[in-house]
Amino acid sequence: MKYFSYILMMCLVLLGCSDSSLESNDTADRIQREGQTMTATRQLGDYELRLSVQQSGDHDFTFQPGIRYRGQDVNHEIFHSKQLFDIDLQMDGKTLLPPRSSTSEELVTKLTKDSWYSEKVEITLTPEQVQYISNSEADLILNAGFRSEQSGYNDEKKMMIRAEEILSVK
């Protein structure tokens, strides 16, 4: 009985350590800048996430999130709500962007192996939000939430970028 308590305590300690390490693994694998455009990518199992951000003014940004299937099948279906991607700007875990509506309707998107599926979103930030970004106080979060027979029925892929990376160097 004494050993059982010891083993149980060790399992709880190891489980607690593993949860905190998962959160720190959300960052982009690669960030590239080309002119006014920043592109970040992250490989997550059979999928690769990409977020391209183009700054077109002091407060205007065009976000183009994308997902690419890298698995063994030629075609791969995913099921998702109206918006596959959710882009968020967070400071201390709280969103800085206005609330967005979402629907629960289920759409089907067919991904072709090694081809990008992407959407385009234009966002105008307030001067205060841009200041948070400039001061390295905010993180840019890309979530792709879907379900798939091949990857599991509840799948969410996430990428975090230091928000200051999206500002164009002037």
Whether residue 111 contacts residue 150, with contact meaning beta carbons closer than 8 Å, is answered with no
Helix or strand (DSSP H, E) at 4: helix 2-23
Q: Which amino acid, residue 154?
A: N
Indicate the number of domains in the chain.
1
- Assess contact for 80 and 109: CB atoms under 8 A: yes
pLDDT confidence of residue 114:
94
Cβ count near 157 (within 10 Å): 20
pTM over 0.95: no
The domain containing residue 98 runs over which residues?
Answer: 2-166
CATH of the domain at 117: 2.60.40
Residue 97: per-residue pLDDT = 84
Q: Tell me which residues of the chain have a pLDDT lower than 70.
A: 1-25, 101-104, 150-154, 168-170
Length of the chain: 170
